Amino acid sequence: MKPVRVGCSGWAYKEWRGSFYPEKLPQRSWLAHYATAFDTVEVNSTFYNLPSEKTVNTWLEQTPTDFRFTVKASRYITHIKRLNSPERYVERFLSSIEPLRKADRLEAILWQLPPSFKRNDERLDAALGVIGERAPGRHAVEVRNESWFTKDVYELLRSRGAALVITDDPDFPFVKRELTTDWTYVRFHGGGRGGGRGDYTARELATWRRRIAAWRRRTEVIAYFNNTADGPAALNARTLAAGLS
């Protein structure tokens, strides 16, 4: 069986106090506590603001050496510039997470495209070429417009060694579970098929456990729960991980 890592999309949620974090645990100790339960985290804050070197070094200091960070790329690149002229903007983002790369603690970089961004193979291919040249390693692309889900796009991602993110989200029912490299990336946005960012049921988690177990026969899996409102993400992640060990 190939390795699997399961975590959450961030750790600094006040809703988790009392359920996941002890009531009196100071917020500055939350990441260290999180790392006692999980071996990876998806950092979403980098989508909105580039972290300082001091901040990234603090993340490293508060987690064990086998703990891995996946970082969400700046929205300026994916949502504002929409992958245009990536050579002008990628370098600044990469420099902000350089301590993770130097410490070999970077799991992957997540490139999330907005729902309004329709299929553009040429632009995606050019961007992945620049990204791969400047930052060799794991890159995952989350597309949220139905036009992207075609065989040609899957082959493009395979040629660039990039993973298509398997998104579980009631708002995007058209997402396909396609494996495009020797590892795959799953994002859980919310259970309960009625919509929202709710808790996953035991049945839903069991279904995903079977899928991941099947994939692990041939590919490594990393998965993050993004249903962080009101705290179900940490419980869901621990429940899923426990059944995969």
**Could you read off the pLDDT of 198-220 as tens digits, one per residue?**
889 999 999 999 999 999 999 99
Block residue for tokens 């065989």: 151
pLDDT band at 87 (very low <50, low <70, confident <90, very high): confident
* CA–CA distance, 176 with 171 (Å, rounded to integer): 13
pLDDT of 161 over the 60 cut: yes
pLDDT at res. 190: 85
The three-state DSSP-derived secondary structure of the chain is CCCEEEEECCCCCHHHECCCECCCCCHHHHHHHHHHHCCEEEECHHHCCCCCHHHHHHHHHCCCCCCEEEEECCHHHHHHCCCCCHHHHHHHHHHHCHHHHHCCCEEEEEEECCCCCCCCHHHHHHHHHHHHHHCCCCEEEECCCHHHCCHHHHHHHHHHCCEEEEEECCCCCCCCCCCCCCEEEEEECCECCCCCCECCCHHHHHHHHHHHHHHCCCCEEEEEECCCCCCHHHHHHHHHHHCCC
Residue-wise pLDDT tens digits, 23-45 = 999 999 999 999 999 999 999 99
Residue-wise pLDDT tens digits, 223-241 = 999 998 777 899 999 999 9
Query: 127, 86 in Cβ contact below 8 A?
Result: yes
Closest CA to 184 of 236, 243, 140: 140
Residue range of the domain that includes 47: 4-242
92-118 average pLDDT score: 96
CATH of the domain at 24: 3.20.20.410
Structure tokens at 140: 């995952």
**Total number of domains in the chain:** 1
pLDDT of 245 over the 60 cut: yes
pLDDT at res. 196: 53
> In the beta sheet, which residues pair with residue 7?
224
pLDDT of 119 over the 60 cut: yes
pLDDT at res. 192: 62
pLDDT of 151 over the 80 cut: yes
124-146 average pLDDT score: 95
